[in-house]
Structure 1
Amino acid sequence: MTTTTDEQHQMITDILLRLLKNAETDQEDIRNATSKMNDIRSQIISETGMCVDKKIRLVFSEQMVAFDRVREQLSVASNETRKMTRGLFLKTVILSCLITALITLTLGFFFIPSLQTIESRRAELAFLNNQITKHNISLNSCDGRVCVKIDEKASKYEKGYRILSGH
């Protein structure tokens, strides 16, 4: 029995040694696999980073092109607005001048007397000047109004007429 026990111990020892060798091999395989995984991970991160960087640059470039197009359109719209504003300003000035001229002519038509009225008033003025000179009438200003001396002893006529003093 001792042989069998020694043989069994030997067998167990052999098994344990094989297990130990297998464990060392497995541990080395695990280290190699971990190292390979880390290499692959680094490569994926690097390539992903480059792809993301390229994509970001592409999107940024597209956005800059779109921004430039919008800026050009705004510039064109701004120039058109300036032209329209200038045209509108000139039209407003011209229209204002025409309206002013029309108002002036209308007011002149209603408030400036006609040539016939002017001639009639000149004739009336000449008649009154002739009467004042002919009858030696003395006109004066009383409280900002024209006044003459009246003969208080003379009789009164219809419609408020009275005889001037000295006649």
Structure 2
Amino acid sequence: MSDETDDRLLALEARVAALEAQLAAPAPRADDSGLFTYGGQASLGGYEWSWQVSRSPEWLLEQPSAQLAAVLAAAGHPARFEILKLLVTGPKPITELQAELGLASPGQLYHHLKTLTAAGLVDQPERGVYRVPPKAVFPVLALAAAAVDVARLTSLD
């Protein structure tokens, strides 16, 4: 496949993933706890993203803590968060990731990629190439936004 075909396929995958996420998201429940919504539009790595998710706070607080903690722990390591920041703009080969992160050996990088993959934050669309899957782009950006907000609140104390 040509690079143009690859780019068109990735853009189509991103649009399909966003639509599937909207369909798969649980319908907002009418309850007394309200509604938590996040989303937006972004241009990253030559792709257009549009996303909106709404869930009740009550529903969010009912989710299994172990699964949520696994995602937060995977993203919470500084090196892994740097990897996410690089991959959220589009797929990158392992050699490019290693160079951009300034790592002498790929072993440590593979260790971090394995953890991110297990948490669903990264996948491998082809051998030696990693990316944040289209369905996870906005959730990763939301994690970054929430971390920035919490860090700013903490620094104001």
TM-score (normalizing by structure 1): 0.18
More strand by share: 2
Structure with greater helix share of residues = 1
Greater radius of gyration (CA): 1
Of structures 1 and 2, the one with the larger relative CO (CA 8 A, separation 6+) is 2
